[in-house]
Structure 1
Amino acid sequence: MTTPFAPMPDAQGYFGPYGGQLVPPFLKQAMDDIGKAYAEITQRADFQQELRELQTDYVGRPSPIFHARRLSQQLGGAQIHLKREDLNHTGAHKINHCLGEALLARFMNKTKVIAETGAGQHGVALATACALVGIPCEIHMGQVDIEKEHPNVTKMRILGATLVPVTRGAATLKEAVDNAFEEYLKDPTNYFYAIGSVVGPHPFPMMVRDFQSIVGREAREQFLGKHGKLPDYAAACVGGGSNAMGLFTAFLEDESVKLVGVEPAGEGTDKPGRHAATLTMGKPGEIHGMKCYVLEDAPGVPAAVHSIASGLDYPGIGPQHSYLKDIGRVQYEVADDKETLDAYMRLSRVEGIVPALESAHAVAWAMRVAPGLGKEVNILVNLSGRGDKDADYVAHKLGL
């Protein structure tokens, strides 16, 4: 019997009614060229071997799963387990797709790789991958995020990336995406736009998901091998949605595993412009070359968004997430700024693991629900990044 999950996407890049390739005709050809190259190059033995070797010897895969015993014991309910993507080289899951995209750009003989970044983790990972493969890298980042995520800005510059500050609008992630895409349009034949999440026109939501799916494949095998069963819940934070799709993909057809995406409620979902809970509060629309759920002030006008985590403040969402919400396969919840900060500090002080503020949203949800679940219940959280990038900001905010 055909499942709702295969094939995804279809030949036109749609996940149900979401996705697609909503771009001008001249750009459609460039997108199609990338899709064709992706389909061909990623099947080549030399590409696969080089990527596997880099995943092992450069990134440090597989990342382990850690049982947060002390935290679980303190909460008095379900057992919380962490997929430690924070231990990857560059400190987050972003390196998984950045290596794939940089290698693809090199195989396609591109002359420059362009990208946006919010929290800076995608920027650092891409600058790292481009240094490794020898391609110039240009990163567009909102001025607000540059000031908030200074350690990552410094790393990008050390790695040789050209950093382009974006000062228009809210000067955060959406504006960085707009700016980077405009630069890419100047020469799509020679430039490669390395999108940092499962968003944008086809084939990018598919490509980034595929490169990130190693997270879920590892986690499924590791958990099954260690516990003889699958986790009861698999949870991840959701902004654009790459780390969540990386985890969820391996479990989509395991009906026993409840999948939970945790969006940023910011200062409250009842405060327009002060949250980024796209799937919770948005509606179907169009943004950045795709159909998906969008937070809008008016049709075609994206709303202002906010999250304490720079990597989550995006008014759109990956099209596959939009589809998974509609069919009910993934449950989308929210965590606000306050409980995210609490989760950041508690995981740091109870387990000695400082999580990224993005990842702390998923930890916050797990902490909230664990006490109401039995001790035999297992929650697997994708700890998508480490929090040293956020340490100065958090310390200032909490007066530490």
Structure 2
Amino acid sequence: MELRTTQEERLFREKARTWLEENVPKEPRPPHGREANDHDRAWQRRQFDGGWAGLSWPKEYGGRGLPLDLQLIWFEEYARAEAPEATNTLYVGLNHAAPTLIASGTPEQQAFHLEKILSAENVWCQGFSEPGAGSDLAALRTRAEIDGDDLVVNGSKIWTSNGHYSHYQELLVRTDPDAPKHKGITWVIGQMDLPGVDIRPIRNMAGGDHFCEVFYNDVRIPLSSVVGKVNDGWRVAMSTLGFERGTASMAHQIELTQFVENLIDYARDNPGPDGRRMAIEDDTIRSRLAAARAETSALKAITLLSISRARRGDAPGPEGSITRLFHTELMQRVHRLAYDLTGSGGLEMEGHRGWSRQYLEQMRQTIAGGTSEIQRNIIGERHLGLPRQPVIAKGA
């Protein structure tokens, strides 16, 4: 791709920087709970009203239709301004549901949902994982039987982030129990306040309660809420996960690059854990910071490659797992470095430098959306053409 900066890009960067300087919330984002949800929705609405939401969305769906090159510049300026983190209660709607509806939804579904997602009027969550179907998503057992013009859903989902604050859910259900494992699955728009939906929050190790269990007891969902076709949900779900593992993580990648630069600045200005010298003067810390900077530079190169492929019109594919695997494991290494860098003093940090809490939050990164082991299998089997991992019989 062309890496030279154009006049259009320079002007766009100046406008983005100015708007962010004038509009980024002064108060820190609450770490979790209803307050965090309200904060996220208000900030997204401010971006929507200012014309800075959905930059790369097609114009016919409420976006500005800008190329991903300019979207990347926005992310860079967003991270530079230390705007609220991109991992928030609107992530699923903006980065999963909306792209899936644009790719596979009906005109009626697109007209009703897309602007409400972009303006933060409606919050979405994901109903994919189940107690016995996490990384092995195709093992899901939540049933949906067709009854007239409705699907009648029974079963449960788990690890449903922000389910108790959401209006809608991207829901996978099994509509043909006799079909092969990856067949007979349907992708449905699930309304969270329907009779029979029971949402139970789960508190995590960092003190948040954004994970939820969701139970379905004879929940009736109109067939008009099916995205794609009945029994074609696995294909639709793979496009959803392709967005998650590909360009949807661009903002997080840029945020991580800025976070490393913040760590380097901190190491220059603050004593290390031994208390005798500045942290940057410690050979081990300096080496780890240099490695983190090099790795985030490599991650940005991968991001530019993703943009180049998207510009050619390529849909997200299994190579997105390469990006996701490297990115999530790098996030954990970088936040462990921050934890080690600040020592016990990190426990007193709040706001954007609440690094001990952020370190705990990173533990889920290599589990959510498919474990690191699953990503390695996808890379090996679908990208490198290696034979499938053998199944070991029980008792062997």
Higher relative contact order (CA 8 A, sep 6+): 1
Higher Rg: 2
Please say whether Structure 1 and Structure 2 have the same fold, judged by a TM-score greater than 0.5. no
Question: Given the two structures, how large is their TM-score scaled by the length of structure 1?
Answer: 0.28
- Higher helix proportion, which one? 2
- Higher strand proportion, which one? 1
Question: Given the two structures, how large is their TM-score scaled by the length of structure 2?
Answer: 0.29
